[in-house]
Every structure is written in C-alpha cells, then in structure tokens.
Amino acid sequence: MSSFGARLLGAARLDAATYEEVEADRSANLQAMTVVLLASLAAGIGSIRTDGVSGLVFHAVTALVAWGVWAAVTYFLGVHLLPEPETRADVGELLRTIGFSSSPGLLRVLGNLPLLSLPISLLAEAWMLVAMVVAVRQALDYRSTLRAVAVCLIGFLVYMALTRGLMLILFVLGALGTVLF
C-alpha cells in the first residue's frame, strides 16, 4: 500500500494504478476527504490577495460544496444513466477516487501570485477535470475513456455553474448591502 504522499502524487500524475489502489482501499476514505478539504482550503487561501479573509472562507466553502455536487452528479450519471455493462461501483469507491482527483487543486494556493492567479486557477481546474476522467474511468470500470469524459464534462459544467452562480449571487447581495446600508 502506498503512502498518502505517494497517492497524492500518483493521482496528480494521472496514474491509473494509483486510482485502482485507492478504489480498492476502503480505509482510504479519510485520505480522500483530506485531499478534497486541502484543495478547497487552497482555493480559499489563493483568493486572499483579491478577496481578503472573507474570500478565503467563501472560496473554500464554495469549492467544497461544488465538489460535493460534482461528485453526486458524477455518481448519478456514471452509475445510473451512462453505465457500461461492466460498471460496478459503490459510492465509496467513486468518492475515494474522485477525492484524490482533487489533488491538482492544491495548486490554487498559489492564486495570490500577481498576474498568475487566473492562469493557475484555470490550470488547476483543467487538471482536476482530466484527473477526474481517469478517476471515473477506473472507479466505474469503463473501457471507454470517451464515456468517462462525457460523465465528467457534464458534472464539471454543473460544478462551474454552481461556483460561478454562488459568486454572482454573493456579489449582488454584497452590492445591494452597500447600496442599502
């Protein structure tokens, strides 16, 4: 069994064997949740320069909630709407693998670097999407990478809509608060 650090790096390197190992290891639930929490915290820390401490909390919580929605949509699509004949997965297997697919999200901690905030954010989100494809393909025993891409893209679009929608709602509420008070 690999160490947590080795799994973290293997997941970031898109190593299918790492995802298979995590899928099979029922004791890796806490490790997978730790990756998700650290990636969410990294998103918050990466926003401090532009959004302050309240941005840290907002971005960390938003990233965590959005990940949960992405995971739920991915499970529903992958297991119930778009399974292959070989698809056999329980919620824990999928959550462990996609939890580790959040490892590239740790890069978001660098979001405070001037002029690099947007490129780092885009790189992290794209890398997380690709890692999620590998995780889903392995956890759901898909032979077709294209099917895993479809499941992940649909889930990613819901994830992006949720995060951007929450940001817009809070921006509008903040603007209304400034005008009214």
For 97-143, write each residue's pLDDT tens digit.
Answer: 999 999 999 999 998 888 888 899 899 989 999 999 999 999 999 99
pTM of this structure: 0.84
3-state secondary structure of 3: coil
How far, in Å, CA of 115 to CA of 143, rounded? 40
143 Cβ neighbours under 8 A, 6+ residues apart: 84, 86
Task: Count the neighbouring beta carbons within 10 Å of the beta carbon of residue 44.
Answer: 24
How far, in Å, CA of 70 to CA of 102, rounded? 11
Whether 11 has a pLDDT exceeding 70, the answer reads yes
Q: Provide the mean pLDDT of the chain.
A: 89
Q: What is the pLDDT of residues 26-56, one digit of tens each?
A: 999 999 999 999 998 998 898 888 888 887 8
29 Cβ neighbours under 8 A, 6+ residues apart: 92, 95, 96
Long-range contact list for 118-122, CB < 8 A, 24+ apart?
120/46, 121/46
DSSP symbols for 118-174:
HHHHHHHHHHHHHHHHHHHHHHTT-S-HHHHHHHHHHHHHHHHHHHHHHHHHHHHHH
Once rounded to an integer, what is the mean pLDDT over residues 59-76?
Answer: 85
Cα pseudo-dihedral 10, 14, 18, 19, rounded to 10: 140
Confidence at 7, pLDDT banded by 50, 70, 90: very high
Determine the distance from the C-alpha atom of residue 47 to the mean position of all C-alpha atoms in its chain, rounded to a whole number: 17
Q: Among candidates 10, 18, 106, which has minimal Cα distance to 60?
A: 106
- For tokens 């509008």, the residue is 172
